[in-house]
Chain A
Amino acid sequence: DAGVIQSPRHEVTEMGQEVTLRCKPISGHNSLFWYRQTMMRGLELLIYFNNNVPIDDSGMPEDRFSAKMPNASFSTLKIQPSEPRDSAVYFCASSLRGDYGYTFGSGTRLTVV
């Protein structure tokens, strides 16, 4: 089992550019989560998918953020246009039974300059 795979591991971009973060969940997991981690706010849930359908996107900070899950093995988180305050580590996680916890990817460190 390769675990949850995120790419890229690091991303540096200029303000105003579009950024796309990618995630491949563990095969067979039916739930996928995107989290953002910052020093100030800690770990925040951005969006939750169940069976590829967005269930709760109340954590998405602004319309500049969007997430998709076109199939069970792939999800993207897009920021357009990016701003310096979007700099953070973005984690993707997946689960089959949430009450057993999630498996996290290794995260994408995004720096917007």
Chain B
Amino acid sequence: AQTVTQSQPEMSVQEAETVTLSCTYDTSENNYYLFWYKQPPSRQMILVIRQEAYKQQNATENRFSVNFQKAAKSFSLKISDSQLGDTAMYFCAFMTLYALNFGKGTSLLVTP
């Protein structure tokens, strides 16, 4: 079974600063997809960024970028120029076939 581990239950960052959220996963598959989802207090699950395992280039979406280390099975999320609206739970997720397997999440608080 594939497992996803987020080792940081809570993190805090000041507005405009940069923060990195960690994620590791375990799989024997070679072809898979990785995602970061954001869940603000509104409860909505929002897709932040996606990475294909066969692509070496790290994905980037505006202020969000990932550091994908396939050999180390690591998939961290970097948020640059943090904004108050980035306050949320962040979930790392792993997909093979059809099912998304989620980590337990990291609660990020952005402070003024």
Q: Which residues of A contact B (CB under 8 A)?
A: 31, 33, 42-43, 45, 48, 50, 55-56, 89, 91, 93, 98-104, 106-107, 109
Contacts and interface: CB of A to CB of B under 8 A. Distances in A.
Nearest to B6: A42
Interface string B85-97: 0000001000100
B98 to A, nearest CB: 5
B102 A98 contact: no
Nearest to B46: A104
B26 to A, nearest CB: 16
A51 B72 CA distance: 36
Contacts of A42: 102-105
B35 interface: yes
Interface of B: 33, 35, 37, 42-47, 50, 52, 91, 95, 98-105
A44 to B, nearest CB: 8
Contacts of B95: 98-99, 101
B100 A102 contact: yes
B102 A43 contact: yes
A106 B91 contact: no
B101 to A, nearest CB: 8
Contacts of B91: 43
Contacts of B37: 101
Nearest to A93: B45
A98 B101 CA distance: 12
Contact of B98 (A31, A91, A107, A109): A31
B99 to A, nearest CB: 5
A53 to B, nearest CB: 13
Contact of A45 (B46, B52, B100): B100
B102 A89 contact: no
A26 B81 CA distance: 33
A98 B44 contact: no
Nearest to B44: A106
Contacts of B42: 106
Contacts of B104: 42
A89 B43 contact: yes
A56 to B, nearest CB: 7
